[in-house]
Amino acid sequence: MTMIKLFDSVAAAYQQAPASFYDQQGPAHDQFGRRINYLRVSLTDRCNFRCVYCMPAEGVQFTSKSELLTNEELLRVIKSAAAVGFEKIRLTGGEPTLRRGLVELVREIARTPGIREISMTTNGLLLDDMAGPLAEAGLTRVNISIDTLNPEKFRRMTRGGNLERVWAGIEAAEAAGLTPLKLNCVIVRGYNEDDAADLARLTLKWPWQMRFIEVMPLVGVDGVAEGGVVPTAELIERIERECGPLEFVGWFGSDPARTYKLQDAKGTLGFISSVTDPFCSTCNRMRLTADGKLHLCLLRDDELDLRAALRGGANDSDLEALIRQAVHLKPWGHGLPEGVKPTVRGMSQLGG
Ligand code: SAM
Ligand code: SF4
């Protein structure tokens, strides 16, 4: 494997990349030597919830059907990504279960040589009926978002969501073997920091990972994200006060979650401190937006337009070269500490 030289800025790397760079073989590495093998694919920017930390209540402009990648285009991108070393696919959105033909799409992705894991992040509302067929088609596991166990608060945070149906979705996912199940909770000060202990206690009964995510300042949710961050350290203190001491289990490779455990728990707790303690050095991921852009870092605006290439007649090796180029140009990390925030897309367009 060729080691890629380290550069101190993306622009420098781009100028200095040898002409032969894009003829490279083997798994794609970025200019900092990170192996990038995980593609998060947004299937739609639409959603049946309007979570306060993700989307504004009204006025969202959705991508038109003609701008969305078709299933055929998506599968071509995934095949080319697999050819340059991507192994893990996560389906997300918006709400991925709203995508028509999802089960068939999963079946096709599962047939792609080189793809060894297909997971999905969902709000769980439609999972009760879909978990079985998705598992049968080749979905490996799911992350389900749940921010509180209080039905009223749940309705408030999701602007209308039904907790009972989401819980049925969680149970259906467990029964279908979409495991190990991970539950995602975005903690927002003033909304649900006092629900964390109840959510943590779920792991006493279930072998799940309950993950707590610091709210990030994506486009469209300034009012909530600003001042809404509850630092992981504070949250751990709160959970320990209510549930007893946490044992540190580990921080595993490219998984952004630091893992802890309550005493005698069957499951674990994961803390994702994107704001107060970023994990960019172990980042292994890129994102494909529903309108066909490779988005290089969640919290930056840099993108490479694959849809234009696809619709302009790119063949498979052109696509592979473009994906390698995107990997090469992936920024080192986000710039929140320096006050650099993303300005173009909201989280519902990026998929988390
Ligand atoms: N609709 C699906 C869901 O909610 O699970 C998938 C898409 S959602 C954008 C993916 C993940 O991003 C969810 O776990 C959600 O809680 C998280 N998320 C959304 N907005 C966020 C924000 N501002 N900061 C941190 N996480 C966020
Ligand atoms: Fe929809 Fe997921 Fe965003 Fe909530 S977090 S609005 S469920 S895309």
Does the pLDDT of residue 310 top 80, yes or no? yes
Is the beta carbon of 352 within 6 A of some atom in ligand 1?
yes
Q: Is residue 164 part of a domain?
A: no
What angle do helix axes 102-110 and 127-137 make, rounded to 10 degrees?
30
Per-residue pLDDT tens over the stretch 272-304: 999 999 889 999 999 999 999 999 999 999 999
The letter for the amino acid at 81 is A
Predicted local distance difference test score (pLDDT) of residue 279: 87
Report the nearest atom of ligand 1 relative to the CA of 215.
Answer: 24
* Spacing, Cα 94 to ligand 2 middle (Å): 6
Predicted local distance difference test score (pLDDT) of residue 20: 53
Predicted local distance difference test score (pLDDT) of residue 253: 85
Per-residue pLDDT tens over the stretch 8-66: 334 444 455 555 555 567 899 999 999 999 999 999 999 999 999 999 999 999 999 99
Predicted local distance difference test score (pLDDT) of residue 2: 27
Q: Is residue 2 part of a domain?
A: no
Rounded average pLDDT over 210-224: 93
Predicted local distance difference test score (pLDDT) of residue 226: 87
Is the beta carbon of 93 within 6 A of some atom in ligand 2?
yes
Predicted local distance difference test score (pLDDT) of residue 152: 98
Q: How many domains does the chain have?
A: 1
Percent of the chain predicted with pLDDT > 90: 85
**How high is the mean pLDDT of the chain?**
92
Per-residue pLDDT tens over the stretch 171-190: 999 999 999 999 999 999 99
Q: What residue numbers bound the domain in which 56 lies?
A: 10-145+175-350
Q: Is residue 112 part of a domain?
A: yes
Predicted local distance difference test score (pLDDT) of residue 222: 85
Q: Is residue 78 part of a domain?
A: yes
Residue 170: both structure tokens together: 């969680």
Is the beta carbon of 186 within 6 A of some atom in ligand 1?
yes
Query: How buried is 111 (Cβ within 10 angstroms: 0-12 exposed, 13-18 middle, 19+ buried)?
Result: exposed
Q: Is residue 92 part of a domain?
A: yes
Instruction: Assign residue 298 the CATH number of its domain.
Output: 3.20.20.70
The residues with which 209 forms a beta bridge, in sequence order, are 182, 268
Rounded average pLDDT over 85-93: 98
Cβ distance 269 to 210 under 8 Å? yes
Proximal ligand: closest to the CA of 96: 1
Per-residue pLDDT tens over the stretch 144-181: 999 999 999 999 999 999 999 999 999 999 999 999 99
Report the nearest atom of ligand 2 relative to the CA of 161.
Answer: 7
* Spacing, Cα 315 to ligand 1 middle (Å): 33
The phi and psi torsions of 272 (rounded to 5 degrees) equal -115, 105
The rounded distance, in Å, linking the Cα atoms of 251 and 257 is: 7
Q: Is residue 273 part of a domain?
A: yes
Q: Is residue 151 part of a domain?
A: no
Predicted local distance difference test score (pLDDT) of residue 339: 81
Per-residue pLDDT tens over the stretch 117-133: 999 999 999 999 999 99
Report the nearest atom of ligand 2 relative to the CA of 348.
Answer: 8
Predicted local distance difference test score (pLDDT) of residue 18: 53
Q: Is residue 134 part of a domain?
A: yes
Is the beta carbon of 55 within 6 A of some atom in ligand 2?
yes
